[in-house]
Amino acid sequence: MSAKKPLFIRLLPLAVLLCGLALFFALGLQEYLSLAYLRENRLDLLAWTERYGLWAVLVYVGVYAVATALSIPGAVVLSIGGGFLFGLFLGTFAAVIGATIGAVGVFLAVRTGLGNSLTKNAKGSIKKMEQGFRDDAFQYLLILRLVPLFPFFVVNIVPAMFGVSLRVFVLTTFIGIIPGGFAYVSVGHGIGAVFELGQTPGLEVLLKPEVLIPIVSLTALSLLQLVYKRMKKTREGKGETA
């Protein structure tokens, strides 16, 4: 049986991610993760995508994975950009793959560096999450991915500190982020369709599938969140009266 690794070795992956995040903001790279940048450079980006084809998709997946691993607040813009550059289905696939890879990177870094440290000091909302993972880690984590009750980066970190298996984390992340990813990629696809009109669109644009799909999808996600909260309150109420 091999000896336990020294603490500084176990914390090294986390340190790399934190340094990468600090470097990202120090270099001002957040300016590139904006809808304004996408709008102003749309023709160059489309030309680059057409020129490099599959390589462009792989670069996009890599950028998305790194952004997710560093917990950079730009996933929505990246998803919209994926829909604009690659279309509805390829854009969704690329965004989901990139986000899953990045989330796994965070998960492994936290699990290596901090282990199950939350299980001893969990309080409040974190304590409730612990109970959910204990009851059924797969189902609970899938719900956390489908219903955005907590920020994405939090759901990348906490499962690692509660001993959730890598297999469960990967499957629930990949499956659970598809609806939200599809919705935001659809927005990007719809933006591309609006830009192609070459003029300020009227109300008829709202009837286009490229624009209507994301509106319906985002509304459904919001309703799902409300339904889940209502069901949770009902269960808790029954538990208190029992």
* Separation in Å, CA 211 to CA 119, 145, 230: 44, 24, 29
Of residues 232 and 37, the one with the higher pLDDT is 37
What is the pLDDT, as a whole number, of residue 152? 85
Overall residue count recorded for the chain in this entry? 242
Residue 130: band (very low, low, confident or very high) from pLDDT cuts 50, 70, 90: confident
Q: Whole-angstrom Cα distance, residue 198 to residue 114?
A: 52
Question: Which is it for the CA torsion 81, 86, 90, 94, positive or negative?
Answer: negative
Summarize the confidence of residues 114-124 as an average pLDDT.
64
Ranges 22-26, 63-67, 93-97, 103-107: which has the least confidence: 22-26
Residue 2: band (very low, low, confident or very high) from pLDDT cuts 50, 70, 90: very low
